[in-house]
Chains A and B, each alone.
Chain A
Amino acid sequence: MKLWRRLVCLARRRSPWLFHMNAGSCNGCDIELVAALSPRYDAEQLGVRLEGSPRHADIICITGPVTKNSVNAIHTVYGQVCGPKAVVAIGSCPATTNVFIDSRTIDGPLEKHIPVDVFVPGCPPRPDAIIQGVAKAAAILAERGLNPPKATVAIAATVAEEQP
């Protein structure tokens, strides 16, 4: 049983599948995230795969300053990703709302809505920084699998599981 747990821990670190979500981003960070998967940076060496469906993903990559329109979508997608899961906030926008601070169309930063595990600052961050962030999130995911923290479970319980 212990051996199986260690194997799962290793597998989680070696196979992070991403779901990319745009929460009102200017597209700068989105392009850098795609560049991280391109031949020059090749994140697939770490087992990273960009998935189309949130059901398949382990790590949600969120870009953008969280516009009011996107809040419901963030909650839905966060509920749809099956546990254990981690959140990576890509760029300065989800961390601080950046230059859009105090805008009436923004309801950020991201941490107000869902727990964030890794922040990758930058406007936009370099692809190597994004890959490092994803690798850190995968390591966090592996730890979380061994002993799930209570805080995350409590927050996950308040989030709507699915919208009809």
Chain B
Amino acid sequence: MNLITALARLLIFPGLLFAVPAAWFFLWVERKTVALMQGRVGPPFMQPFFDFVKLTAKSTPPRSGIAGALMRSWPLIALASAAGAVGLLPVLPSSGGFEGDLILLLALLEMPSMCIIAAGFSSRSIFGEIGSAREAALSVSYNIVFLLAIVSIAASQHTFRLEALAALPASPLRLLGIVAIIVCLPAKLHINPFSLPNAEQEIYAGPMTEYAGPELAMWELSHGLEWVAATGLVATLLAPHFGAWWLAALVFVALSFAIVLLLSAVAAATARLAIDTSVRFYWQCTLIFAVLAISSALFMRYRL
């Protein structure tokens, strides 16, 4: 990948120029789906944009010292890594990439949740600390399944290169892995039934309790970008290979939108689970599928 393609991917498509409006759109779809399923009209189309502008123009409480600097930097790190993760997605055919970019993508996808854990603890609010502890427990549970599913897909195709993975045709084994990834997404995006870390009204806003103004706006935006990156990863794995770039982009957007709708509908239809139930769900119920996927992937590798 040369510098110009890398910059174009990071800044234009599927990077910031596409991803930021898409993030607001997905946040709106999430709220609107919940509203429609509750029999309400719901927020207007531009709502997440207005929220973002309003938050950037608000003042922040004074923060001093190392703790204050850390608190200010966590949302920026989360935002940067989420934007980088979106930029790495192999949406367009022959858009470049390098060996092992799947590993970088997984690391960047994990960064926002690490930042949330750190932010909760550095805010020194009791609610933030509870939220961070829950996020850490949840992250340990779903990441095993998430990583096993992705590694099973990569192992069956003998590569850690995203473009090569996206270009190959879908197989039953790959679909099993994708289902396992989709099961992990609600926990990764902190939506119901796994909205424990930022459980609204229960522990105020979890790790975000002490954040205000522009910092909170950065958190909201990085959450939206996480939506784009996580659904985009599934969309690129699901999408068939197209020669025309506009067709590939269109299918990518449509598939991402469908996954967002599915996840929002599940979120609206379920209630929040307790932490022990969530952890048990991933360790006992979902882990079996992930182990099945990776063992069959390895088996297929020896057979071939």
Contacts and interface: CB of A to CB of B under 8 A. Distances in A.
Given A15-B50, A56-B205, A39 B43 contact: no
Contact of A11 (B35, B54, B216): B54
B40 A44 contact: yes
B226 interface: no
A162 interface: yes
B53 A11 contact: yes
Contacts of B61: 55, 80, 82, 161-162
Contact of A39 (B39, B58, B200, B210): B39
Interface residues of B, number: 35
A8 B40 contact: no
A113 to B, nearest CB: 21
Interface of A: 7-8, 10-12, 14-15, 17, 39, 42, 44-45, 47, 51-53, 55-56, 58, 80, 82-84, 145, 161-162
Interface of B: 31, 35, 38-44, 46-47, 49-51, 53-54, 57-62, 127, 200-201, 203-205, 208-213, 216
A52 B50 contact: no
A82 B60 contact: yes
Given A44-B31, A58-B54, A14 B209 contact: no
Nearest to A42: B40
A42 B41 contact: yes
Q: Majority SS of interface residues in chain B?
A: loop
Q: A45, A55, A83, A161 — which one has the most chain B CB atoms within 10 A of its CB?
A: A55
A17 B213 CA distance: 12
A111 B1 CA distance: 64
A52 B200 contact: yes
Contacts of B204: 52-53
Q: B57, B209, B213 — which one has the most chain A CB atoms within 10 A of its CB?
A: B57
A14 B47 contact: yes
Contacts of B60: 82
Contacts of A84: 58-59
Contacts of B40: 39, 42, 44-45
Contacts of A42: 35, 40-42
A39 to B, nearest CB: 4
B50 A11 contact: yes
Contacts of A12: 54, 57
Nearest to A145: B57
B57 A11 contact: yes
A17 B47 CA distance: 12
